[in-house]
């Protein structure tokens, strides 16, 4: 039987991942409205990834005969005042999600829940990649965003991104 605190944190993470999907859909809408369809695509794919992350937590709980508790998903509340604000909000959010994953890992470690720790190893690595991607996007925007031709090229680069489902085996 899973530790109550670990189970609660895993259930909360489902909600946080679904919120992340909502947030990135909001970012995608922002860029679509700005005519930056490549940026919109990049965040749309981010939303798909976050939804799948939620489903991985959902399935993990079910596979361990634990009750899944679904809560209301909050409306995104980030101020989307300019392109760079959106990108920085994305990085800030990924850093927040990393802290949540670390909290679950710590709770699992404290009760020697090695199965959950092993499950979370993939998410620890994934969050490192997410933060790197968000930082890289900010760096590229700082370098190229003020030049329309360079922004067009960056937008085209982001538009080429395709979705790849996570390969985590539960």
Distances in whole angstroms, Cα of residue 23 to Cα of each of 45, 71, 121, 132, 147: 12, 16, 24, 19, 27
Largest CA distance in the chain: 57
Q: How confident is the model at residue 165 (pLDDT cuts 50, 70, 90)?
A: confident
Q: Which of 10-14, 36-40, 165-169 is predicted least confidently? A: 165-169
Q: Is 168 exposed, middle or buried (0-12, 13-18, 19+ CB in 10 A)?
A: middle
| 168 phi, psi to nearest 5 deg | -75, 125
Q: How confident is the model at residue 131 (pLDDT cuts 50, 70, 90)?
A: very high
> Would the pLDDT of 152 be above 90?
yes
Q: Which CATH superfamily is domain 4-159 in?
A: Ferritin, core subunit, four-helix bundle (1.20.1260.10)
Distances in whole angstroms, Cα of residue 153 to Cα of each of 28, 90, 101, 149, 158: 18, 21, 34, 6, 9
Which pTM was predicted? 0.93
């Amino acid at each position: 039987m899973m530790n109550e605190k670990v189970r609660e944190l895993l259930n909360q993470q489902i909600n946080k991942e679904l919120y992340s999907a909502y947030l990135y859909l909001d970012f995608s809408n922002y860029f679509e409205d700005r005519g930056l369809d490549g940026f919109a695509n990049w965040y749309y794919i981010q939303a798909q990834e976050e939804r799948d992350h939620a489903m991985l937590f959902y399935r993990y709980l079910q596979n361990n005969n634990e009750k899944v508790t679904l809560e209301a998903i909050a409306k995104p509340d980030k101020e989307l005042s300019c392109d760079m604000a959106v990108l920085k909000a994305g990085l800030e959010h990924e850093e927040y999600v990393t802290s949540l994953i670390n909290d679950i890992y710590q709770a699992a470690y404290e009760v020697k829940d090695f199965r959950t720790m092993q499950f979370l190893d993939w998410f620890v690595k994934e969050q490192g990649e997410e933060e790197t991607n968000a930082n890289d996007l900010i760096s590229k925007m700082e370098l190229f965003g003020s030049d329309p031709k360079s922004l067009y090229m960056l937008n085209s680069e982001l538009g080429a991104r395709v979705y790849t489902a996570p390969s985590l085996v539960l």
